[in-house]
Amino acid sequence: MHYRPLGKTGIRVSEIGFGTWGLGGDAYGPTDDRVSVEALERAFGAGVNFFDTSDLYGNGHSEELLGRVFRRRRDKIVIATKGGMLPHRGFRMPQDFSPAHLGKALEASLKRMKTDYVDLYQLHSPPREVIDREEVLELLEDFRCQGKIRCYGISARCPDDALYAVEKYAIPVVQVNFNLLDQRALENGLFSAAAGKTGIIARTPLVFGFLSDALKADHEFCGRDHRANWPLDQRRRWVEARHKFAFLWRGTGRSQVQAALRFILDFGAVSTTIPGMLTPGQVDEDVLASNLPRLSPKEHERISAIYHGNDFYDQSAKQRGNGAEAA
């Protein structure tokens, strides 16, 4: 495993991190805690030291799992959690970024994770008016001064919001979508603006699993799996998209997932990427991407041509989705 600086925070993180959204047990279908614990242990043994979670994931269950597994090895890992997003279903996302709520939310997260500090505390998808709210950034700085957090950041709704936060407020860490099918963070100048000063966490590296070969467009999602909210035509668009990049894994020695992760790691502005890993087998496959050679310049040129020659996302998808009107 290779490690990178998380911006100027003084924290070094594994370039393959662990996204724990799925471990909450609802957003990616039902899970078995025994398997989740095995996956966390396997990741730690493979050198993963960065674990990204939120008080939203399973109403705090993923935080509880991290506390259970790493309570006695707290100094060996870096935990990033988030606050401000309230429980919901679908794409309508109620939020509360008031100091009163965030203060209680952070205390609750610390209790669930059996720790007295969080390495990185992130606002969870705040609108720009919240980023501009002086009291919120002052509160985050107060948390840091009190020793409850080592640093703070923003898990941005979109790369443009992340760029805004970096350019206007020099936010220490931002989390954004970035993958083969979504290169907005590269296109809008975020990587350039953040270079050398802001840590970038690349989320959705596998597009909710649609960049693996495990899903079909008409897959029957169980329980409260959030992927069921997306319209069928958008899911089909993602499934068909992965075939356009097959040259990255066919005959190369890379798996489909590893090629997708390696693409992200080729960008030095990225501190870490956080695939959601539900099983030890997924961990074993994902962590190998850290030691794979960089993609070739010709492969990057071809990726760019495919990306610019296709539209992989329907801007109306969330408005038409099954959860568009959910509370």
Joined tokens for residue 48:
């993963």
**Phi then psi dihedrals of residue 59, to 5 deg:** 50, 40
CA distances from 59 to 24, 72, 79, 245, 249 (A): 7, 23, 17, 36, 37
Three-class SS state of 179: strand
Report the distance separating Cα 258 and Cα 292, nearest Å.
Answer: 8
Burial class (CB within 10 angstroms; exposed 0-12, middle 13-18, buried 19+) of 15: buried
Which candidate in 57, 121, 152, 307 is catalytic? 57
Please check whether residue 83 is in contact with residue 105, taking contact to mean a CB–CB distance below 8 angstroms.
yes
Report the distance separating Cα 16 and Cα 175, nearest Å.
Answer: 14
**Strand-pair partners of 173:** 153, 199
Q: Does 121 participate in catalysis according to the annotation?
A: no
Please check whether residue 154 is in contact with residue 168, taking contact to mean a CB–CB distance below 8 angstroms.
no
Task: Name the residues annotated as catalytic.
Answer: 57
